[in-house]
């Protein structure tokens, strides 16, 4: 089986426990205004142009500097698994493993399920990062082969969720409840977007919802990441948060304290 991969990142330390390799699947059903990985949104490979790398040599078809590059590559499950398996000693020595991310990996759920099964059969710890906004039929395909799922709850207000991500949060909340009913180990994240998700009202609403879910081990607040802007420029896209800085530590701490008031384990300050 083949799928479209954006990147494979080795020695990742923020996508689960220990040293991990993260597979970034291409394609996402959301259109978050703040997305810091815009190269993963479109499902098909696409060309990017980093003008600061261009030396005007005229060899665009075989660009020697990487100024012109294709984002996304069709790769078989077996090929990707072989690359993941090469780092098995690091996974075992650090308590790490493999994380599948995106984009939204569940768009390619069958591919992910096959890859995760190979990892599990090889004794590799597995995790997935998802926006959880697709029907549960997609989600359940990967569950037998997952040790942990990391998923986002960005906003509890459905109208604002639609306005800023392009989709409803209905599936997100329904799927979160179903994962809890099944006892699937989960970590929930909220990206802290100034003026949108990073409000006390929103964080408390999410924390209150999570307090009713017995399977959630941690709630992680992720500071706004401004590093995606060059990617937008390379893809010829408009970036809505140009010049926006990450939230100050004091503001994140205050939001974390508000969430902790609901009796849940809150993590922050890692990004």
Q: Using N-to-C axis directions, what is the helix angle for 109-121 and 77-85, rounded to 10°?
A: 40
User: Which CATH superfamily groups domain 2-268?
Assistant: Aldolase class I (3.20.20.70)
Residue 198 phi, psi (nearest 5): -85, 60
- Residues 84/23, Cβ–Cβ less than 8 Å: yes
Residue 240 phi, psi (nearest 5): -75, -15
Contacts of 253 (CB under 8 A, 6+ apart): 268
Tokens of 121: 């059969």
* Regions in the chain scoring below 70 on pLDDT: 270-271
Instruction: Give pLDDT, residue 271.
Output: 43
Instruction: Give pLDDT, residue 14.
Output: 82
pTM given for the model: 0.93
pLDDT in tens, 90-125: 999 999 999 999 999 999 999 999 999 999 999 999
Q: Rounded to whole angstroms, how far apart are CA atoms 136 and 138?
A: 5
Q: Please report, for the chain, the start and end positions of each structural domain, with discontinuous segments joined by +.
A: 2-268
Instruction: Give pLDDT, residue 246.
Output: 94
């Amino acid at each position: 089986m083949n799928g479209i991969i954006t990147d494979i990142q080795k020695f990742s330390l923020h996508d689960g426990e220990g040293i991990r390799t993260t597979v970034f699947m291409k394609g996402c059903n959301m259109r978050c205004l703040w997305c810091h990985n815009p190269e993963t949104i479109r499902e098909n490979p696409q060309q990017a142009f980093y003008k600061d790398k261009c030396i005007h040599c005229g060899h665009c078809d075989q660009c020697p500097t990487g100024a012109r590059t294709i984002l996304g590559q069709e790769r078989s499950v077996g090929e990707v698994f072989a690359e993941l398996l090469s780092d098995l000693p690091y996974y075992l020595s650090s308590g790490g493993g493999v994380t599948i991310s995106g984009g939204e990996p569940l768009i390619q759920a069958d591919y992910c399920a096959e890859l995760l099964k190979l990892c599990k059969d090889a004794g590799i710890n597995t995790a997935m990062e998802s926006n959880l906004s697709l029907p549960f039929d997609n989600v359940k395909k990967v569950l037998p082969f997952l040790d942990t799922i990391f998923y986002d709850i960005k906003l509890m207000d459905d109208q604002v969720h639609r306005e800023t991500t392009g989709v409803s949060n209905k599936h997100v909340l329904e799927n979160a409840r179903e994962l809890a009913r099944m006892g699937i180990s989960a970590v929930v994240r909220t990206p802290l977007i100034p003026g949108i998700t990073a409000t006390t009202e929103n964080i408390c609403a999410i924390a209150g919802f999570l307090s009713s879910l017995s399977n959630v081990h941690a709630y992680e607040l992720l500071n706004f990441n401004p590093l995606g802007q060059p990617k937008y420029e390379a893809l010829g896209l408009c970036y809505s948060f140009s010049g926006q800085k990450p939230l100050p530590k004091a503001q994140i701490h205050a939001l974390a304290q508000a969430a902790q008031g609901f009796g849940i384990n809150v993590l922050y300050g890692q990004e």
